[in-house]
Amino acid sequence: MTIAENARIGDDALILQGARLGHAVRIGDRVILNPNCVIGADGFAFVTEQPSSVEIMRETLSDTTAGAPQSWTRLHSLGTVELGDDVEIGACSAIDRGTIRATIIGRGTKLDNHVHVGHNVTIGEDCMLCAQVGIAGSTRIGDRVVLAGQVGVNDNIFIGDDVVAGGASKIFTNVPAGRVVLGSPAVKMTTQMESYKALRRLPRLLRDIATLKKAAEKQGPPK
């Protein structure tokens, strides 16, 4: 266990073997930190002198990039991490400190093992993030949100209160409050299920089209 300088720990916190608390991290009362979790690692923030391949792709929506060499310069994170009361962080999970402001995990939120929360992320109260969830930087998540195992969340988006995301969903855009989403890209669960049903029917549909095509060829062109 490591607790860095100026870290503040609330009452009745349980910090288990191998947990790491970074500089100036603040955790509330009754927080549980499971083995080998890392709270307050430096955020994964880098810039390039010229527009990067990612920036070019986002601007042009091209299938290819310029391919010019690029070097990355690290932006050190000056912010911290704040965990509310009754938060639990699973084994081997990592919460990055904010670039300037804090990365925040709200009261009563629970993180499973191997969850990654990027820099500047804000997560509301009573959320549940299951194993291998990954949340990219500067995303905001409301209260009572449930992200099932292996859900991935894009950067700089907003997920409203009471959203539920099914396992392995990939969320690329904002999600309104109360919606249940599924799939990659994540869409309303009913839409995803209809798409899946249609996909399962596709082989039969192709066979039917081939049969009709053969019948039309035998019949020949209309007279």
Active-site residue flag, 119: yes
* pLDDT given for residue 37 in this prediction: 98
* pLDDT given for residue 63 in this prediction: 74
Reference 53, options 34, 69, 76; nearest CA is 69
Calculate Rg over the CA atoms of the chain. Answer: 23
Reference 186, options 153, 157, 161, 156; nearest CA is 153
Q: Is the pLDDT of residue 129 over 70?
A: yes
Question: What average pLDDT does this structure show over 31-52?
Answer: 92
* pLDDT given for residue 66 in this prediction: 61
Pair of tokens at residue 206:
């192709």
What structural domains does the chain harbor?
2-188 (2.160.10.10)
Question: In this predicted model, which residue has the larger pLDDT, 141 or 220?
Answer: 141
Beta bridge partners of 20: 2, 38
Q: Is the pLDDT of residue 194 over 70?
A: yes
| H or E stretch covering 38 | strand 38-41
Give yes or no for a contact between 40 and 23, defined as CB atoms under 8 angstroms apart.
yes
Q: How confident is the model at residue 222 (pLDDT cuts 50, 70, 90)?
A: low
For the chain, how are helix, strand and coil distributed in percent, rounded to 5? Answer: 15, 25, 55
Q: Could you say which DSSP state residue 150 is in?
A: T
- Please state whether the peptide bond connecting residue 222 to the residue before it is cis, i.e. omega within 30 degrees of 0: no
Rounded Cα distance between 113 and 95, Å, is 12
The single residue of 76, 114, 116, 119 carrying the catalytic annotation is 119
pLDDT, tens only, 47-97 = 888 887 777 777 787 777 666 667 889 988 999 999 999 999 999 999 999
